[in-house]
Amino acid sequence: MKRVLVTGSSGLIGSEAVENYDRRGFEVHGVDNNMRREFFGAKGDTRWNLQRLQSSTRRFTHHEVDIRDRAAVFALFQAHRFDLIIHCAAQPSHDRAAAIPLDDFDVNAVGTLNLLEATRRHTPDAVFIFMSTNKVYGDVPNEVPLVEKATRWEYARPEDYNGITEQCRIDQCLHSLFGASKVAADVLTQEYGRYFGMKTGTFRGGCLTGANHSGVELHGFLSYLVKVAAEDREYHVFGYKAKQVRDQIHSADVIAAFDAFAENPRPGEVYNLGGGRENSVSMMEAFAMLEERFGRPVRWQYEEQNRRGDHICYISDLSKLKAHYPQWSITRSLEDIVNEMVEFEMHRLGTVGV
Ligand SMILES: NC(=O)c1ccc[n+]([C@@H]2O[C@H](COP(=O)([O-])OP(=O)(O)OC[C@H]3O[C@@H](n4cnc5c(N)ncnc54)[C@H](O)[C@@H]3O)[C@@H](O)[C@H]2O)c1
Q: What per-residue confidence (pLDDT) applies to 217?
A: 77
Model confidence at 332: pLDDT above 70? yes
Q: Which ligand 1 atom sits nearest the alpha carbon of residue 207?
A: 3
Buried/exposed 72-104: b ≥16 CB within 10 Å, e otherwise = bbbebbeeeebbbbbbbbbbbbbbbbeebeebb
Q: Over range 261-290, report the average pLDDT.
A: 98
Model confidence at 352: pLDDT above 70? no
Pocket around ligand 1 at a 6 A CB cut-off: 8, 10-14, 31-36, 46, 66-68, 88-90, 92, 107, 111, 131, 133, 205, 207-208, 213, 220
| Ligand 1 site-directed mutation target among 9, 36, 46, most atoms within 8 Å of CB | 36
Model confidence at 220: pLDDT above 90? no
Instruction: Supply the residue whose CA is at minimum distance from atom 39 of ligand 1.
Output: 11
Q: Across the chain, what does the average pLDDT equal?
A: 95
Q: How far is CA 275 from CA 134, 177, 345, in A?
A: 12, 25, 22
Residues forming a β-bridge with 205: 133, 273
Q: What per-residue confidence (pLDDT) applies to 353?
A: 42
Q: Which ligand 1 atom sits nearest the alpha carbon of residue 36?
A: 37
68 C-alpha to ligand 1 centroid (Å): 14
Pairing mode of beta strands 245-250, 280-282: antiparallel
Under 8 Å between Cβ of 250 and 337: yes
pTM for the whole structure: 0.96
Q: Over range 230-258, report the average pLDDT.
A: 97
Instruction: Provide the sign of the torsion angle of the four alpha carbons 169, 131, 114, 219, taken in this order.
Output: positive
- Residue 208 CA to residue 55 CA, distance in Å, equals 25
Q: Over range 236-257, report the average pLDDT.
A: 97
**Regarding predicted confidence, which is higher, 94 or 117?**
117
- Residue 45 CA to residue 62 CA, distance in Å, equals 16
Burial of 9 (0-12, 13-18, 19+ CB in 10 A): buried
| Ligand 1 site-directed mutation target among 5, 76, 88, 250, most atoms within 8 Å of CB | 88
Model confidence at 41: pLDDT above 60? yes
